[in-house]
Each structure stands twice: as C-alpha cells, then as structure tokens.
Structure 1
Amino acid sequence: MDKYLTEGGDPYCYPETNVLINKHDIRDPLELETLEAAVTEANSRTLRLVHPPYSLATMQGIHKHLFDDLYDWAGQIRTIMIMKGKTPFCYPSMIDSNAIQLFAALESDNWLRDMDKDCFCNGMAKHYAEFNMLHPFREGNGRTQRILFDYIAAINGYYIEWGNISPSDWITANVYGVIQDYTYLYRIFSAITYEHA
C-alpha cells in the first residue's frame, strides 16, 4: 500500500506493516488501495473551485475533503520524514516555511494570469516541480497537488487532462524537476492543457 520510505518506525502504519491505519481498520493493502481510489475519486467530484489567494491551508482543505472518510490525519501536516526512491521530501519542521515561500512565488507570478498558453505551461511546469518537493502529507500528495493546479488552470481558462499522462513519462518529468530541469514537465503540460470552450 505505502509508496513512501520512512525513517525508523512509522506511526501512521499498523505495527510491522506498510498499511496505513484507517477508519475502516482494513489491514489488506490491496483492499485499502482499492477503497482509497474509489473514495477519493468520489470526493474529488464534490470539490468546488477555490479562487486565490492560495496557501498551505488550501492544500490542507483539499486533502481533508479527499481523505477524511479514510484517515484521522486527513488535512494534517505529516510529522515524519518521507522519501520516494532516492528523493527525500521536505523535512516536517520546514514544511510551513517552505510552503510560504512557494505560495509567495506563485503569487508573485500573479497565479499565472494573463499569459499565453506557452508561458502558462512553462509556469505550471516550474511551480509544479517546486511544489512536488513539499509533499506535506503522509499520503495523497499527488492527488492534492493536482487539484490545486486544477484550480490554477481553471482561473486562467484552462483545464488539465491528467488521464492523458503516461505514468513513466510523468515519473521521468518529476525526477528531472527535482534538479530544476522543467523541460519534460513543460512538454507534458503543453500536451494536456486545454482551453475551456
């Protein structure tokens, strides 16, 4: 079930497992994964568009809406270090301060307003890569971040077809994003970003 590596014991998981403690007391990882996918998909449909200014609290609200039926810690900032592969994400003690900087940078770009599509996709690629390093939650970071960026697209007259992304291409693009090479993310956003009719 768990996609992240943690240091030492993980208070979010049942002892000696990688299954996240959940409100349904499901211990089978595949069963929990299936339920989580169904619940978060259903809950995502009842989210309403939020307009700027955005902040870490915006992400917490999205996360709570998606995961509150599953986890007691929905919407709460993680308390342990996590990593995926060889990529460590933000230290828990630095999440708040880093988020302030990330949202300030996004606001200084005027939430990517008044840009042609090419500039907009460049901005989406850069900011997405930077936000990806935050990973403020124990689980559900990708889904939460995608919805935040759906909001940014929507206020600018665009929508994102996330389902058109090849998983392997997405992983590669985000790996390059870690080293601040946004070329691959830009190509993906250019291909999956559409203007609202």
Structure 2
Amino acid sequence: MPLMNTKDYTTVDKIYCYENTDILKNKLGLKNKLGLKNKEELEKAERYITKLRQMDLEKIPIDGNFDLRHLKKIHKKLFHDIYYFAGESREVEISKKGSQFCYIRFLESQGNEILNKIASEDYYKNLTKEEFIEKIAILTGDLIHLHPFREGNGRTIREFIRELCLLAGYEIDYSKSLTSERLDAEILAYNCNYKKLISLLDIEIEKI
C-alpha cells in the first residue's frame, strides 16, 4: 500500500510514548493523560527548536563521512533538546497508513548498505547536474524507506542531503518548492517512482 501524506504513525508504543497516550516521551515535560493539548504544544515546540538547530547546522555542518553515523549525528543535533532518543536508531516497528518502514532487525545493515555507497561513489562529485539529481532522488527514497528514527526522519534526511550537496559542489534550497509538493514527491520516491522528485530537485539544486 502507498505511503500516505500524514505525519502520524500507526504505532503507539510503551518504549517511546507516555502511558495511555500517543505523546512521545520528551525533555520538555509536555504530557497529560488525554494527550490532546500537550501533543499540539510538543509539535509546536519541536518545530521551533529544530528550526534553531537547523540554523546552527547551516553555519557549522556536521563533520562526518556521510555514513550511518553521520546521519545519526545530524538527528542528535536537531532533536537532542527535545527527545531522549535523539541520535539513536528506533527500537520499534513503525508504519504509516499501511506502509511498512524497514524492520528494526535490518536497520543497521540496510542503513550501512545504502550509505556506504556514497563514499564508494566519491560522494557524487564530478557528476553532471542531471546525474547528481538522479542519485539524490534515489538516495532520498532509500532513506525514507529506512526511516531509522522514531521521529524526525524527514528533517534529518533533508539536512543530510543538504550537506551532501555542499560537498559535491551544489546548493539545495527547499523553499523553491511547496511543502505539499515535496512531500508528495518523497512519498512517490518511497515507492521507487522518482520522476516528480527529480523535477523538484532540478528546481531546488544549483551548482555553486
């Protein structure tokens, strides 16, 4: 079944959520038994704080090799103020509207397989823009399917891609496309249909 355009996971679990709620355990103390008002407050605070951390990363990107460790370091930077699990692989199976992400027993092996290719291909340097964009589209789809974290995968993946673009001599400006358009394109890429994402990347990415 196709991945749907929704933030909410179908998984409510005892590891990451407060008891009898779908609110993720957090460092901000935002919880209640019903999980309504405080869930909204948590999401609002999360957006605000991660924007600040994103600004930090734009000034000083993560020093890494674009491997799984690098991806985890980005997640930790973005979310360490909010979640105890920042920078750690998830320990539960998750899905969205019937679309299953990578099973936890394969997270490390599949993550390494996906990301180790980047170094083996010289970080996509010296490619034409068309070739580079195709690589980025496929990588994005693979990382969405991997979904290594309990929350914050999209923002982490986009920052990872932004840093990879810089290393390869490109800049990516996500504001050049509508959020809804990009999300739709990412959903298609999850299902190995890269055409729409490639079209958006052609607009978003420029040679430095």
Q: CA deviation at 1:125?
A: 0.7
The 3-state SS of whatever aligns with 1:133 is helix
**Number of residue equivalences:** 195
Identity %: 28
Q: Over residues 98-156 of structure 1, what are the superposed CA-to-partner deviations in whole Å (9 max), with x where a residue is unaligned?
A: 01110122223321110121111111111111111111110000111111101111012
The 3-state SS of whatever aligns with 1:3 is coil
- Give the corresponding residue for 2:24: 20
- Give the corresponding residue for 2:4: none
Distance in structure 2 (CA, Å) of the matches to 1:105 and 1:99? 10
Contact 1:51 1:155 in 2 (8 A): no
Distance in structure 1 (CA, Å) of the matches to 2:25 and 2:177? 30
TM-score w.r.t. length of structure 2: 0.87
- Give the corresponding residue for 1:132: 144
- Give the corresponding residue for 1:4: 9
5+ residue gaps, structure 1, are none
TM-score w.r.t. length of structure 1: 0.91
Kindly report structure 1 stretches of 4+ aligned residues shifted beyond 6 Å: none
Contact 1:52 1:111 in 2 (8 A): no
Query: Residue type of the partner of 1:94?
Result: F
Q: CA deviation at 1:168?
A: 3.0
Q: Over residues 66-106 of structure 1, what are the superposed CA-to-partner deviations in whole Å (9 max), with x where a residue is unaligned?
A: 11111111111100011122221111111100011101222
Query: Residue type of the partner of 1:39?
Result: I
Q: Over residues 44-85 of structure 1, what are the superposed CA-to-partner deviations in whole Å (9 max), with x where a residue is unaligned?
A: 222223466221111111111111111111111100011122
The CA RMSD over aligned residues, in Å, is 1.8
- Give the corresponding residue for 2:97: 85
The 3-state SS of whatever aligns with 1:172 is helix
Distance in structure 1 (CA, Å) of the matches to 2:113 and 2:73? 19
The 3-state SS of whatever aligns with 1:45 is helix
Higher relative contact order (CA 8 A, sep 6+): 2
Q: CA deviation at 1:171?
A: 2.9
Distance in structure 2 (CA, Å) of the matches to 1:123 and 1:97? 20
Residues 52 and 69 of structure 1: is their aligned pair in 2 closer, same or farther, counting only changes over 3 Å? closer
Q: Map 1:1-197; keep pairs closer than 5 Å.
A: 3-6=8-11, 9-27=13-31, 28-47=38-57, 48-50=60-62, 53-196=65-208
Q: CA deviation at 1:17?
A: 1.5
